[in-house]
Amino acid sequence: MNPLLYLESRKDKNSKLLYNLKNVGSYCIPNCFYREKLENKLSVLKNYNESVISDRLNYYNRLEEPYCCNDEFIKLKDFTLSKKYRPHTYFWDTYQYTRYFNPENKIAFAFGDVTYVPEFPKIVKSRPIAGDNQNSILLKLDKVRHFIFVNDHRTFESKQNLLIGRGGIYQQHRVQFYEKYFHHPLCNLGHVGHKEVHPEWRAELLPISRHLNYKFILCLEGNDVASNLKWVMSSNSIAVMPKPKYETWFMEGKLKGNYHYIEIKDDYSDLEEKLKYYIEHTEESLEIINNAHKFVDEFRNPDKEDLIALLVLKKYFELQKE
């Protein structure tokens, strides 16, 4: 990779080193210090619209009835940093909140890209949008990678009338998109994964800042959600994708096609039609960008995010029974 592009791409992302140093430092603080602060942390609820907080709480944690713990649950006092709980980013993002609660409380989790609904209530990063997903309790996991927002100073009108797409092209649905549109004049696409895979589509990794030169940015789901969707929706470009099938803390299931993003068919057959339409109808494009910004704004307050995460776990623990 071009060294200059690599350095530029690092500037666009959260620092994994600082993230780990911060978490290791806080891990040395006894948990009793955090447990004493739980009531104070929850008391800030009065500072926010309680209806909005309640809606998000019950969206992430849809449990309504008490449930029993089984052998897969562990006590919080046994949830400690170890090789057992990997990836460590998931551990840190869970532990950040579990340490506020009684160490005798129990927890079960499924770390990684989860595309199924567990048989019993588990903490997850992602879940299917469709169907009964109440056993999938969402927390803001792997946020150092997924929760990136940008300050885009370019206007939509000044950007190129093209769709930019960069990603690892492994899943069949991504392959199908590239087969259809890799050579299309309205697209600038490239595979940036392993060199041995699809060398015919190989391209250099582009920093986020270079993506922002384009009016439209491809946001195809991968193993679960499209990891670039959050920063794209915070920009003055527009996300282009089919209706999402999976969701995370970002509540992708609440997004509306052609309102928060440009929705294309699952078989991608209407891509050219949609791109040409929104190139010609600038006012409608600007409305989508404005709606996307309003959606993203809900996630920008760290104190509110912490409060909701604690409430999600509080509800999770209170519904447990022996």
Residue 17 belongs to some domain of the structure: yes
Give percent of the chain with pLDDT exceeding 90. 84
Number of domains in the chain: 2
Distance CA 221, CA 238 (A): 16
Residue 151 belongs to some domain of the structure: no
Q: Which residues of the chain have pLDDT under 70?
A: 1-12, 322
Tokens of 174: 């991504």
Distance CA 287, CA 295 (A): 12
Residue 18 belongs to some domain of the structure: yes
Q: Are residues 13 and 135 in the same domain?
A: yes
User: At what angle are helices 50-60 and 302-318 packed, to 10 degrees?
Assistant: 60
pLDDT number for residue 15: 82
Q: Are residues 283 and 160 in the same domain?
A: yes
Residue 37 belongs to some domain of the structure: yes
pLDDT number for residue 8: 55
Q: Are residues 75 and 166 in the same domain?
A: no
**Cα distances (angstroms) measured from residue 93 to each of 139, 158, 176:** 8, 38, 34
pLDDT number for residue 86: 74
Q: Are residues 16 and 99 in the same domain?
A: yes
Residue 207 belongs to some domain of the structure: yes
Q: Are residues 76 and 188 in the same domain?
A: no
* CATH number, residue 263: 3.40.50.2000
Q: Are residues 70 and 174 in the same domain?
A: no
Peptide bond into 103 cis (omega under 30): no
pLDDT number for residue 13: 73
Q: Are residues 166 and 293 in the same domain?
A: yes
User: pTM for this structure?
Assistant: 0.92
pLDDT number for residue 17: 84
Residue 31 belongs to some domain of the structure: yes
Q: Are residues 191 and 85 in the same domain?
A: no
Q: Are residues 90 and 178 in the same domain?
A: no
pLDDT number for residue 3: 58
Q: Are residues 7 and 119 in the same domain?
A: yes
Residue 112 belongs to some domain of the structure: yes
Distance of CA 144 to the CA centre of its chain: 10
pLDDT number for residue 10: 53
Q: Are residues 235 and 209 in the same domain?
A: yes
Q: Are residues 205 and 278 in the same domain?
A: yes
Could you tell me the residue range of the domain that residue 126 belongs to? 3-146+300-321
pLDDT digits (tens, 9 = 90+) for 264-321: 999 999 999 999 999 999 999 999 999 999 999 999 999 999 999 999 999 999 999 8
pLDDT number for residue 211: 97
